[in-house]
């Protein structure tokens, strides 16, 4: 008989008859399993796909295997950079415990270990999460010492979300004189990351920021490998699913001679005197390769691999001499060095020949301006009756005023049919010699084009509430001052060197470069930089006249101090006047640009000091550099 039957037969007659409320148990069973069932439906059927994805993420780790960054050598194979290890503590916010209390305890633990305040870590993590970078490893402490790194590595397995990475660190053993060339590497800015992640960069991977490091980032970085691995809960490797090895970065062989670079740097420092900044360029007039390019003051690029370079960086930014600025790539009035370009223009245009003589019998030239008033141009001495070669040699201002703007009331023709036209013609030649535009030197830096003014340029930049209407007009004086490299003309020492090279090599404008060869990661030669050159629109016979003038200047002209005992040097001094904004006094900037040997130019040297006289300050320095070069450097 069934249980149900039993119940029907004798309902509750016996004292022992169970009368309990058993139905409640059935309800409890059904209700509790319905709760579990509903939760299962939600987890497995509704959200199942999400969980499946998380399950995959749990175990498949796709990692980029960073390649070894390429090395940089000088022209003789001297290494200018080394790779060394740098330990960084990383936090991946997405792997941290969800519970704020546990998180904070983890931060406190890291505070003990790393000395980074827990609050600071918390802020950094929160900020990263707000940026939506939950899954990116966030560097929280860089350049850990080896002991701390080892301790962190031991505990990292038990700290969810915390990892230790060994990042390559760049060490620049050459000294600060190479900083402006090499630049440095640093962490990516958020903007850089947006671009670079497309190229497969890891978020915490460093990139070249300036200099050769930045310009040749793609070559130096190499090709990252990938590793796809399956790991267990402890992060232990189970299997490697796929692995492609990284390809090391390319090596770069510079055209820079490190000994020469150091020599020039020290020479400039020792000869600066009152000057605060100085620059020098040593380049080949044959290929355009740079043997040395020095900027004073400089900075130590090793500070950028410090854990927190902010303080040192701020000190650099606060320095009024702007050490981060490459002086050889910064434009300033070229002064009389510009006369070689004026001379080239005048010879090619035909308003002056080798033998055109002007009698500079006074150091003052009076002329009647556009307003009918007399104006005065000054020369630095009475040159007497001189021709073009002598004018270059002695750097006569009045001769080059006449050659550029002409003196209308004396019937002396300028470069063009009128004042404005003369300026436009001169501007054309200046640009042909590479001025007013960046040279394209393969250093990622703030190279400025400088200014080659023109009537149109003046109208444009002198507009606005700060200027009077007559400030926009182009005057005779504008053309004249332009002819001697003053007024609004600015050029960088590198541009002057390139222009000098074009005169020295018979009319070829070269594209300067510091990278001579690209090497494979195993040191094999991959490519050699092909010199790139362009003909300047000046005939060789005219350039020969200018070279002769420059040679004469060293023999018995303004550049006598550039002479060397065994080598024929040619050069042009420059002494650019400027008004010191601090004391209102008129002061000089010292320039020299020249080449040697005279008959077979192998080297162009351009020297600049922000204070001094070209003939006495820049010329002897250039001579020392040329002497050192010809003796020690294999072109």
Partner 1 sequence: MSRFGVEGSLRAWDRFDAILALTALALVGYGLVLIYSGSLGSYDGPTASLENPVVRQGLFALIAIGAMFIISRFDYHVLLHYAWWLYGASILLLLVLIPIGQTDFGSTRWFALGPIQFQPSEFAKIATILLLARFLSEQGGDARDLRVLGGSLAITAPVLLLVFIQPDLGTTIIFAAIWLGMVVVAGIQRRHMLFFGAVFLAVLPFLWTFTVADYQIERISVLFDAEEDPLDAGYNPIQSQIAVGSGQLLGKGLTNGEQTQLDFLKVKTKDFIFSVLGEELGFVGAMALFALFILLLMRGIRAAQIAGDIPGQLIAAGIVITILMQAYINIAVNLSIFPVTGLPLPFVSQGGSSLLTLFLGLGIIQSIVMRHRAYRQF
Q: Are 207 and 197 in contact (CB under 8 A)?
A: no
- Measured over the CA atoms of residue 41, residue 46, residue 47 and residue 48, the dihedral's sign is positive
Nearer to partner 1 among residue 101 and residue 374 (C-beta): 101
Q: Are 548 and 593 in contact (CB under 8 A)?
A: no
Alpha carbon of residue 394 to chain centroid: 38
Q: Which residue has the tokens 């016996």?
A: 14
Nearer to partner 1 among residue 28 and residue 195 (C-beta): 28
Interior/surface letters 263-284, b for 16+ CB within 10 angstroms, e for the rest: bbbebbeebbeebebbbbbbbb
The minimum distance between CB 60 and partner 1, in angstroms, equals: 9
Nearer to partner 1 among residue 20 and residue 464 (C-beta): 20
Helix 476-483 vs helix 397-404: crossing angle, to nearest 10: 120
In the structure, how many helices (H) and strands (E) does the chain have?
Answer: 21, 23
**Residue 560 has what DSSP assignment?**
G
The minimum distance between CB 36 and partner 1, in angstroms, equals: 5
Tokens of 557: 């002209």
Q: Are 608 and 493 in contact (CB under 8 A)?
A: yes
DSSP string computed for 398-464: HHHHHHHT-BGGGTB--SSSSHHHHHHHHHHHHHHTTTTS----SSBS-----B---HHHHHHHT-S
Q: Are 458 and 472 in contact (CB under 8 A)?
A: yes
The minimum distance between CB 238 and partner 1, in angstroms, equals: 6
Nearer to partner 1 among residue 103 and residue 560 (C-beta): 103
The minimum distance between CB 241 and partner 1, in angstroms, equals: 13
Tokens of 604: 């162009």
Nearer to partner 1 among residue 53 and residue 311 (C-beta): 53
Torsion angle of C-alpha atoms 218, 220, 213, 206, degrees rounded to 10 = 80
Nearer to partner 1 among residue 57 and residue 364 (C-beta): 57
Distance CA 93, CA 507 (A): 62
Nearer to partner 1 among residue 20 and residue 465 (C-beta): 20
The minimum distance between CB 51 and partner 1, in angstroms, equals: 3
Nearer to partner 1 among residue 6 and residue 361 (C-beta): 6
Nearer to partner 1 among residue 218 and residue 237 (C-beta): 237
The minimum distance between CB 446 and partner 1, in angstroms, equals: 49
The minimum distance between CB 442 and partner 1, in angstroms, equals: 50
- Tell me which residues touch partner 1 (CB under 8 A): 3, 6-7, 14-22, 24-26, 28-30, 32-33, 35-37, 39-41, 43-45, 47-52, 54-56, 58-59, 97-99, 101-102, 105-106, 109, 155, 157-160, 230-234, 238
The minimum distance between CB 39 and partner 1, in angstroms, equals: 5
The minimum distance between CB 135 and partner 1, in angstroms, equals: 16
Nearer to partner 1 among residue 228 and residue 269 (C-beta): 228
Nearest to 66 by CA among 165, 184, 137, 173: 165
Q: Are 264 and 280 in contact (CB under 8 A)?
A: yes
The minimum distance between CB 234 and partner 1, in angstroms, equals: 7
Distance CA 271, CA 256 (A): 22
Distance CA 499, CA 285 (A): 10
Nearer to partner 1 among residue 94 and residue 531 (C-beta): 94
The minimum distance between CB 26 and partner 1, in angstroms, equals: 6
């Amino acid at each position: 008989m069934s249980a149900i039957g039993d119940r029907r037969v004798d309902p509750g007659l016996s004292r022992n008859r169970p009368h309990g409320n058993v139905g409640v148990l059935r309800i409890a069973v059904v209700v509790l399993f319905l709760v579990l069932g509903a939760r299962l439906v939600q987890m497995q059927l509704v959200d199942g796909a999400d969980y499946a994805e998380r399950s995959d993420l749990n175990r498949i780790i796709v990692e980029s295997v960073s390649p070894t960054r390429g090395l940089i050598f000088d022209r003789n194979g001297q290494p200018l950079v080394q790779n060394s290890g740098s330990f960084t503590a990383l936090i991946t916010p997405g792997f941290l415990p969800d519970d704020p209390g546990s998180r904070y305890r983890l931060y406190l633990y890291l505070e003990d270990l790393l000395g980074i305040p827990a609050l600071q870590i918390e802020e950094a993590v929160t900020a990263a999460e707000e940026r939506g970078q939950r899954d990116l490893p966030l560097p929280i402490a860089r350049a850990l010492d080896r002991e701390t790194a080892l301790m962190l590595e031991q505990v990292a397995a038990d700290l969810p979300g915390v990892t230790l990475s060994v990042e390559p660190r760049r060490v620049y053993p050459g000294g600060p004189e190479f900083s402006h060339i090499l630049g440095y590497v640093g962490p990516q800015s958020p903007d850089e990351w947006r671009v670079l992640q497309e190229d497969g960069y890891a978020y915490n991977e460093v990139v070249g920021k300036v200099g050769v490091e930045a310009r040749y980032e793609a070559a130096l970085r190499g090709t990252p490998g990938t590793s796809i691995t399956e790991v267990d809960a402890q992060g232990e490797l189970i299997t490697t699913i796929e692995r492609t090895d990284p390809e090391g970065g390319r090596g770069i062989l510079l055209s820079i001679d490190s000994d020469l670079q150091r020599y020039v740097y020290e020479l400039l420092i020792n000869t600066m005197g009152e000057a605060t900044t100085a620059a020098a360029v040593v380049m080949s007039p044959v290929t355009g390769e740079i043997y040395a390019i020095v900027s004073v003051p400089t900075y130590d690029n090793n500070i950028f691999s410090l854990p927190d370079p902010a303080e040192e960086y701020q000190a650099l930014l606060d320095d009024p001499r702007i050490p981060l600025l490459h002086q050889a790539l910064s434009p300033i009035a070229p002064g009389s060095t510009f006369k070689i370009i004026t001379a080239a223009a005048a010879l090619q245009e035909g308003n002056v020949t080798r033998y055109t003589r002007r009698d500079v019998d006074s150091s003052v030239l009076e002329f009647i301006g556009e307003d009918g008033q007399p104006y005065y141009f000054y020369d630095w001495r009475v040159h007497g009756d001189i021709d073009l070669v002598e004018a270059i040699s002695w750097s006569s201002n009045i001769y080059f005023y006449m050659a550029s703007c002409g003196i209308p009331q004396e019937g002396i023709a300028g470069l063009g049919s009128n004042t404005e036209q003369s300026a436009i013609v001169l501007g054309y030649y200046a640009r042909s010699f590479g001025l007013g535009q960046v040279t394209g030197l393969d250093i990622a830096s703030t190279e400025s084009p400088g200014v080659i003014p023109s009537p149109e340029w003046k109208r444009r930049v002198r507009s606005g509430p700060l200027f009077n209407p007559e400030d926009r007009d182009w005057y005779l004086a504008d053309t004249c001052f332009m002819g001697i490299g003053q007024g609004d003309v600015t050029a960088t020492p590198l541009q002057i060197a390139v222009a000098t090279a074009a005169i020295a090599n018979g009319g070829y404008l070269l594209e300067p470069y510091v990278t001579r060869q690209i090497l494979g990661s195993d040191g094999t030669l991959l490519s050699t930089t092909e010199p790139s050159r362009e003909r300047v629109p000046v005939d060789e016979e005219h350039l020969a006249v200018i070279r002769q003038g420059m040679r004469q200047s060293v023999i018995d002209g303004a550049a006598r101090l550039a002479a060397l005992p065994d080598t024929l040097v040619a050069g042009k001094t420059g002494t650019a006047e400027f008004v010191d904004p601090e004391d209102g006094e008129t002061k000089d900037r010292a320039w020299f640009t020249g080449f040697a040997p005279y008959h077979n130019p192998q080297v162009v040297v351009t020297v600049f000091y922000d204070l001094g006289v070209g003939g006495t300050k820049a010329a002897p320095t250039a001579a020392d550099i040329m002497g050192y070069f010809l003796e020690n450097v294999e072109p």
